[in-house]
Amino acid sequence: MQKELILRKGYLQEQPIESIYLGGGTPSLLSATEINHLLDTIYTHFNVVPNSEITLEANPDDLTKEKVRELRESLINRFSIGVQSFFEEDLRWMNRAHNAQEAQSAIKRVQDAGFENITADLIYGYPLLTNLKWISNVQQIIDLSIPHLSAYSMTIEPQTALASFISKGIQKPMNDGQSADQFLILTGMITSNGFEQYEISNYARNERYSKHNTNYWKRVSYLGIGPSAHSFDGTSRQWNIANNAKYIKAIMENEVPMEIETLTEADKFNEYIMTSLRTKWGVDSDYLNRNFPSEFMQAMEKYLPNYLKENKITQDKNIYTLTPEGKLLADQIASSFFVT
């Protein structure tokens, strides 16, 4: 990965780096020394701005006292902790390695070590999760006084064990009504306790937004390093192969084993709609008119009056954002604006 960073040092063309995110897989298995080697390579070859957000994705069971103490010696200044649930039976159902006590203890341990910038993940909308259990999960996040929460409705990926169990009737299917109810419970509880919903799945206190994810939604260029990692430079997307052995072999031969897709104007328009509509900053019609053919905006305007009338979208001058009702149908609304 250090070698790939050097091979690709020109990809971002000296653009300032505001965030570094160690995620995907389990980077919390790395030692502080290994993490610093990676970060030193980034700082040497890229234009990293002062006080950049440097996040480590971590499983609760990795965050032992010794590990957290060790990470104080690294450049990490933000943790993303994969809690998912505070209920033992739910974690077993998800095949998570940690238990309910470890989930809570990991957050407190990181806080006690002096780290303030913490986000936790929760999942809702799965068969075991009653509304009472969900309320308890959300309340525990509130009580832990962390500044950020990401919460996602469970989705079933094809060709997974869970998808197979559901198709065979061994497991109950996901319930859209349950997901909608629990989404509304979440937004009601979390926003009444000082959190702002700045993106459909993300909530922050005191504007402690994730710089990294916010830049994704604002379509800022980014570089992804490692097997399966994706990159975006504003005009194209590229992704590395997923095979570890082939990835290593290619990198050691000074080749980046990737595929590339050049984005059409329609792709760029659709991606802007899809990402911007999910956020508090919304879709800017002035931006669309400046950057895309007029017929793209005209196609979108065919649907806007109905969404405004049905209170699914609200308009403030040139900015269009989803209402709470619209957020329940975000993907459907966004796709209706797509052009081909």
Tell me the pLDDT tens digit for each residue of 48-68. 999 999 999 999 999 999 999
Question: Residue 231's beta-bridge partner residues?
Answer: 238
- Is 223 a member of any domain? no
Structure confidence at residue 146 as a pLDDT band (50, 70, 90): very high
Residues 54 and 52: their CA atoms lie apart, in Å, by 6
Q: What angle do CA 11, 12, 13 make, to 5 degrees?
A: 95
Structural domain of 240: 230-262
Predicted pLDDT of residue 98: 86
- Is 222 a member of any domain? no
CATH number at residue 20: 3.30.750.200
Q: What angle do CA 55, 60, 63 make, to 5 degrees?
A: 70
Q: Are residues 107 and 190 in the same domain?
A: yes
Mean per-residue pLDDT over the chain, rounded: 92
pLDDT tens track for 249-261 = 999 999 999 999 9
Predicted pLDDT of residue 314: 97
Close Cβ partners of 54 (under 8 Å, ≥ 6 residues apart) = 19, 20, 21, 22, 39, 75, 76, 77, 78
Q: Are residues 212 and 258 in the same domain?
A: no
In this structure, what DSSP letter does residue 61 have? G
Q: Are residues 112 and 198 in the same domain?
A: yes
Q: Are residues 168 and 313 in the same domain?
A: no
Q: Are residues 127 and 56 in the same domain?
A: yes
Mean pLDDT, residues 31-43 taken together:
94
Close Cβ partners of 297 (under 8 Å, ≥ 6 residues apart) = 285, 288, 289
Mean pLDDT, residues 145-151 taken together:
97
- Is 224 a member of any domain? no
pLDDT tens track for 270-316 = 999 999 999 999 999 999 999 999 999 988 999 999 999 999 999 99
pLDDT at residue 163 tops 60 = no
- Looking at the structure of the chain, the number of domains it has is 3
Note whether 76 and 116 are within 8 A (CB): no
Q: Are residues 257 and 269 in the same domain?
A: no
Rounded to two decimals, what is the model's pTM?
Answer: 0.91
pLDDT at residue 192 tops 70 = yes
Mean pLDDT, residues 215-235 taken together:
94
Residue 289 has, within 13 A of its CA and on its CB side, a CA count of 7
- Is 316 a member of any domain? yes
CATH number at residue 270: 1.10.10.920
- Of the candidates 269, 286, 270, the one whose C-alpha atom is nearest the C-alpha of residue 320 is 286
Structure confidence at residue 245 as a pLDDT band (50, 70, 90): very high
Mean pLDDT, residues 23-35 taken together:
88
Note whether 141 and 151 are within 8 A (CB): no
Q: Are residues 123 and 50 in the same domain?
A: yes
Structure confidence at residue 317 as a pLDDT band (50, 70, 90): very high
